[in-house]
Structure 1
Amino acid sequence: MTTAHSAPKIPPLVPGGLPLAGHVAALIGGERRLALVEQVRAYGPVVRINVGPNVVVIVNAPELIHEMLTIKADEFTKGRLFEKLKLFGKDALPIAEGKPHLRRRRLMQPAFHREQIAGYVTTMRETVEPYISGWDSGTSLDLKTEMQLMTQGVVMSALFSSNPPREPANTILRSVDTVFTTAIKRAVLPIAPLERLPTRGNRKAKAASSALRTAVADIIAEHRANPGEYDDIVSLLLSARDETGEALPDDEILSECVALLAAGSETTAVTLAWLFHELGRNPDLERRLHEEVDQVLGDDVLTARHLGKLPYTRRLVQETLRLYAPWLVTRQTISEVTLGDYTLPAGTDIIWSAYALHRDPDLYPDPLRFDPDRWLPDRPQPPKGAFIPFGSGKRMCIGDAFAWTEATVITAMVASRWRLMPERGAVKALGAITTHPSELPMIPRPRDR
């Protein structure tokens, strides 16, 4: 591959010296994906790479990412990844564009106001308690799966007033994982013509999407049959009216609920898995967490009033969100756009990576060190736009405050009762729909208090 200088103000192609076996190969493997987005930062604030027959632009500079997500947000669509996530539903809030996105966000915002989220804390606690009380001392846990089931249960309880038993919940979880895996593969590889073929993978993705929608449709049907018994986001959507006074179509309500279920549990679950992995190999940090939780909670059950008294717990969550942020988010230019000194033609596919941004040594001293105290108020803080685990601007994740609260609640509840000990081997970070641990077996041991 050679450097291209033919078009002024358009970033050059990354030269062939990139120490990876081709960019397509890099995007196939989970570890290689992470290496690619980190390594291309060395080539400048904006670079182009070849992905098969396509050219993809990677935006690295925090000020340009901020410009793209805020000031010039209307000049971009959400791009390839979100297009492929339409497997969850084509008009759902995380995927919608333009005015439909704005209308739907305004409609759903009341369910995510901070006052409303404080009211979810009791539901979060009651949903999580059976999971952690059911752990057996000395019996290995697949912690990533356990956290996925836990956070999925929280989303379903708080937003859907539904908490299915473990086995149906496992079925939902496997369906979500399958759809996410399919979406990320289709987003990073130039295989669009293959998506319509009846391959095993395509049939599996279609079946998973169907199973997921069926499970959520049953919840919506229960709400319709007993409209006075619920006060949650499903009932909010069922009672909503559009600008003409018409109710939302059933398929749109279904798509919104499916997308909320998938997006609402993924990032928080992975964050918690990584958090306890880091505590398992940093006993001093774990001890400080236990001390704070014991001092604040004592023998009380956790409530919303305790959360503001857990600053160290919150810093642990924040540092995990920094170090293990989502590795890939996409955008696409609608027309010609200028970012800084670079002019991008209409239709340009763009990637930005919070994972790589958050590990830049120019922004974060000793970036690979897990250090929750870097977020203390008296420490130098990263520049504006350099910490964006939930995105930024008007398309920022609507559930960010929900996720912060949920992660703090679960961290404190687990820490009040258990130590989670690493079982074996090195844990690798993989670029899936978010940044996943390869596997994470951990052994719960009761706290010695």
Structure 2
Amino acid sequence: MSVPVAPRRWPFLGHTPSMLRKRFEFTSSLRDRGEIVKVYLGPKPAYFVTSPRLVHRVLVTEGAHFRKGAMFDKFRPYLGEGLLLSDGAFHRRQRRLIQPAFHRDRIARYAETMAAAAEELVAPWRPGEVRVVDEDAQSLAVTVVGRALFSTAMGERVIEEVRRSVFVVIKQGMVRALSPNFVEKLPVPGNRRFDEATARMRAVVLEVIASWRAGGVDHGDLLSTLLLAQDEETGAGMTDQQTYDEVLTLLTAGIETTALALAWVFHEIGRHPEVERRLHAEVDEVLGGRPVTFADLPRLVWTARVVNEVLRTYPIWILMRRATEEVVLDGVRLAPGTEVIVSPHALHFDPRSFDDPGRFDPDRWSPERAATVPRGAFVPFGAGARQCVGNVFAQTELVIAVATVAARWRLVPVPDEPVRVRFTSAPYPGRMPMTAVPRHP
């Protein structure tokens, strides 16, 4: 079968607005060439899948025949065999061991941590104060994930180190992932900061693991769940290294997604008065001035739709898979080792799946309209067996944080200070100043 071939130029690097437009235009334009398109990563061919139907096959129905692709190989030196990168039987074992940490009853307990952290965030705000919202969102995400993982006094030391180092690891790690191999060996400041940050985080996380081993007490946190987990077949638990890999995976994946989404939520609320009005009406009706609880979530319908629309509007640019055995997609034979690329960004802005995709419209997530979205068209957390294990945790945290802030404050954009997007694989806002205005003076 003849496969359409895209232009050879693949715009991986560059963060200027014009370069970002070229990235998005390139990946979005591929849908006009067909559902599966050959592209070149330098001299190496790969296949770009553009339709929700084939994306669902790659991620779900044929997911067992793929592993994480080339983009993720460069994360292995510091994420090891954590759930994000492991494969095959080992990945299935680790997911079985970790999954209980994200059951509904555990999420309900974490919700208390989420609400308390959000209340602490807004408590010192003052009327008319300009908040740098992206920094506030990062701080909250670190606090929530850190406290969920480490509930002991020693855990506070880990949280402070995570606050200091995790975004260096995330950002510089993505630069490495999208750069030629030689870049990570250059004696440049970014590489030094990355190496120092990973070394500090490794030392403090292994220290708290050793402390837990010595005490052996279940503190009800994620770390206890990881260290107490035992394989049903062998009775074996995780080694210190395996636990470390999973902890670092949960820290990096759990913090980045939530921090970015939360910042963009308040950006979009500030730009859309009607969205803000409906949000405030809902939190006033549901909460009545009291703190949000896990039991309130089913009634925070509009808040959840706003969160979903932000997850659609600000997804990662691409993700990759590598075939582990021959797979045939619509007559195209993919040999073992073939790289397959999916663009959540292109999928989320495909007008065939979403009416007027450039418009911020939380109502597209009403039950009637959401039911028309094809499988594979909305993948903010991936899909299938490789779907992010913490997706419900993240969505719960976002709804609780948004409701907590919106119940007490409006965040108003600062005039003449436009927010720009800085993109590696995920959409980072440039500095996002917003003025805190009390809703109930």
Q: How does the TM-score come out when normalised to structure 1?
A: 0.89
Question: Is the CA contact (8 Å cut-off) linking 2:158 and 2:205 kept in structure 1?
Answer: no
CA shift, 1:352, in A, is 0.8
Question: Is the CA contact (8 Å cut-off) linking 2:68 and 2:321 kept in structure 1?
Answer: yes
The correspondence for 2:223, drawn from 214, 226, 234, is: 234
Instruction: After superposition, give the CA deviation of every residue in 1:75-118 in whole Å (9 maximum; x if it has no partner).
Output: 21111232222243211111110111100100111110122212
Q: Secondary structure of the equivalent of 1:27?
A: coil
CA shift, 1:193, in A, is 4.1
CA shift, 1:290, in A, is 0.5
Question: Is the CA contact (8 Å cut-off) linking 1:149 and 1:170 kept in structure 2?
Answer: no
CA shift, 1:148, in A, is 1.4
Q: Secondary structure of the equivalent of 1:369?
A: coil
- 1:271 corresponds in structure 2 to 261
CA shift, 1:389, in A, is 0.9
User: Are 1:175 and 2:165 an aligned pair?
Assistant: yes
Unaligned runs of 5+ residues in structure 1 are: 1-7, 17-21
CA shift, 1:169, in A, is 5.0
CA shift, 1:164, in A, is 8.8
Q: Secondary structure of the equivalent of 1:228?
A: coil
User: Are 1:125 and 2:109 an aligned pair?
Assistant: no
1:392 maps to a residue whose letter is A
- 2:419 corresponds in structure 1 to 427
Instruction: After superposition, give the CA deviation of every residue in 1:346-380 in whole Å (9 maximum; x if it has no partner).
Output: 32222211111011111101101001111112336
Distance 1:365 1:437, change over 3 A: same
The correspondence for 2:400, drawn from 383, 389, 409, is: 409
CA shift, 1:226, in A, is 3.6
Q: Secondary structure of the equivalent of 1:308?
A: helix
Question: Is the CA contact (8 Å cut-off) linking 1:354 and 1:388 kept in structure 2?
Answer: yes
CA shift, 1:165, in A, is 10
User: Are 1:28 and 2:14 an aligned pair?
Assistant: yes
CA shift, 1:202, in A, is 3.0
- 2:433 corresponds in structure 1 to 441
Q: Secondary structure of the equivalent of 2:61?
A: coil
CA shift, 1:265, in A, is 1.4
- For residues 441 and 37 of structure 1, the distance between their equivalents in structure 2, rounded to whole angstroms, comes to 31
Paired residues, what number? 434
Q: Secondary structure of the equivalent of 2:375?
A: coil
Coordinate RMSD, CA, aligned: 2.4
Question: Is the CA contact (8 Å cut-off) linking 1:330 and 1:350 kept in structure 2?
Answer: yes
- 1:311 corresponds in structure 2 to 301
- 1:5 corresponds in structure 2 to none
User: Are 1:82 and 2:72 an aligned pair?
Assistant: yes
CA shift, 1:245, in A, is 4.1
Q: Secondary structure of the equivalent of 2:37?
A: strand
1:36-435 residue pairs with structure 2 within 5 A? 36-161=26-151, 169=159, 171-189=161-179, 191-196=180-185, 198-228=187-217, 230-242=219-231, 244-379=234-369, 381-423=372-414, 424-435=416-427
CA shift, 1:179, in A, is 2.2
Instruction: After superposition, give the CA deviation of every residue in 1:213-240 in whole Å (9 maximum; x if it has no partner).
Output: 2232343244334432612221122223
- For residues 311 and 157 of structure 2, the distance between their equivalents in structure 1, rounded to whole angstroms, comes to 29
Question: Is the CA contact (8 Å cut-off) linking 1:153 and 1:163 kept in structure 2?
Answer: no
Q: How does the TM-score come out when normalised to structure 2?
A: 0.91
Which range moves more in the overlay, 71-80 or 376-385?
376-385
Question: Is the CA contact (8 Å cut-off) linking 2:65 and 2:324 kept in structure 1?
Answer: yes
Distance 1:226 1:127, change over 3 A: farther
Question: Is the CA contact (8 Å cut-off) linking 1:144 and 1:269 kept in structure 2?
Answer: yes
- For residues 250 and 421 of structure 1, the distance between their equivalents in structure 2, rounded to whole angstroms, comes to 46
Unaligned runs of 5+ residues in structure 2 are: none
Question: Is the CA contact (8 Å cut-off) linking 2:229 and 2:238 kept in structure 1?
Answer: yes
